[in-house]
Amino acid sequence: MKGVINMHIIVLIKQVPDSREYVRIREDGTLDRERVRAVINDCDKNALEAALQLKEKFGSKITVVSMGPPKAEDALKEALAMGADEAILISDRRLRGSDTLATSYVLYKAIERLGHYDLIICGIESSDGGTAQVGPELAEFLGIPQATFVDEFKVIGGYVEAKRLVEGGYEKLRIKMPVLLTIMKNANNPRVTTFSGILKAVKKQVVTWTIDDVGAEEKKVGLAGSPTKIMKVEKLSFQRKRLMIEGETADEVVDNLLKRLVEDGVIRGGY
């Protein structure tokens, strides 16, 4: 192992509503994140696990960064308990309603403030937004290369060798660090937080930064700084014909169904 020892790895995590619970949508179309149980976004845990494995191998420092409401501190505390060294929460009322471009701009400013880093790892996408855009947009702001949809990677002397998913197969890339990776859920199995991990994490603090702390311009963040706007939110209609197929026996039901389907021209046959 030459070239890279004592890496600084930045892991981006997002606190998301537990997908098993109902989420209220506000009048302006944004999600009300205050009232539901919140968890670390699923594949962000895989991103952290990947970083922890590198730390065990090379002795790295891991900084977890999140942007969100004050209660996102819980997600960062969990990340500290899993083994991260430092945690930064970018939290500011003026950030509410930020789209992916505004979000990646703020993260870019925060990472600039953190100084040197070798690797940025995040999950491929969040379970609530699901855009998969913040990673690549952030990499563009930082001017570093990226590999998205990665399910395997290793660090070899200043380079990352990553296998990424593409339509119909995969590709393997060799990328000079620093690089941003987005990690798939099947990349690894995130460790479970242990009691001793929680005890160690008690001593660690989550540092909170405002947009002023990171030097982000107010006009480039939040609803006003987001090029995309939610115009309206409406119910998706799946309504169809809803014709009940009846019959005394299963035989009759099946006959009646097949007759209909032949009439509709979706199957052909002697009915």
Residue (of 134, 129, 123) closest to 30 by Cα position: 129
CA distance 259 to 265: 10
Shortest spacing between CB 35 and another protein, in angstroms: 11
Task: Name which of 81 and 110 has its Cβ closer to another protein.
Answer: 110
Residue 91 sits in the site that holds another protein (CB under 8 A): no
Select the span of 52-60, 62-70, 88-96, 134-142 touching another protein (CB under 8 A): 134-142
Is 161 a binder of another protein (CB under 8 A)? yes
The identity of residue 99, as a single letter, is: D
Q: Is 24 a residue that touches another protein (CB under 8 A)?
A: yes
Q: Identify the residue among 168, 192, 203, 248 touching another protein (CB under 8 A).
A: 168
The nearest distance, CB 92 to another protein, in angstroms, is 21
Total of chain residues touching another protein, rule CB under 8 A: 82
Place of tokens 């004592």: 6
The binder of another protein chosen from 12, 139, 214, 216 (CB under 8 A)? 139
User: Comparing C-alpha atoms, which of 91, 120, 86 is closest to residue 106?
Assistant: 91
Site of tokens 């169904």: 257
The answer to whether 195 contacts another protein (rule: CB under 8 A) is no
Residues 6+ apart with CB under 8 A from 185: 42, 43, 46, 123, 124
Under the criterion CB under 8 A, does residue 171 sit at the interface with another protein? yes
Q: Does 253 bind another protein (CB under 8 A)?
A: yes
Q: What is the Cα–Cα distance from 157 to 102, expressed in whole angstroms?
A: 34
- Could you give the maximum distance between any two Cα atoms of the chain, in Å? 77
Determine the Cα–Cα distance for residues 66 and 33; give it in Å rounded to an integer.
15
Rounded least distance, CB 182 to another protein, Å: 9
Binding of residue 236 to another protein (CB under 8 A): yes
Distance CA 42, CA 185 (A): 7
95-124 residues in contact with another protein (CB under 8 A) are 99-101, 104
CA-to-CA dists, residue 68 to 12, 71, 75, 93, 225, angstroms: 12, 8, 10, 9, 16
Of 75-83, 109-117, 200-208, 231-239, the window that binds another protein (rule: CB under 8 A) is 231-239
Of these, 68, 164, 181, 221, which contacts another protein (CB under 8 A)?
164
Specify the stretch interacting with another protein by CB under 8 A; choose among 7-15, 71-79, 84-92, 139-147: 139-147
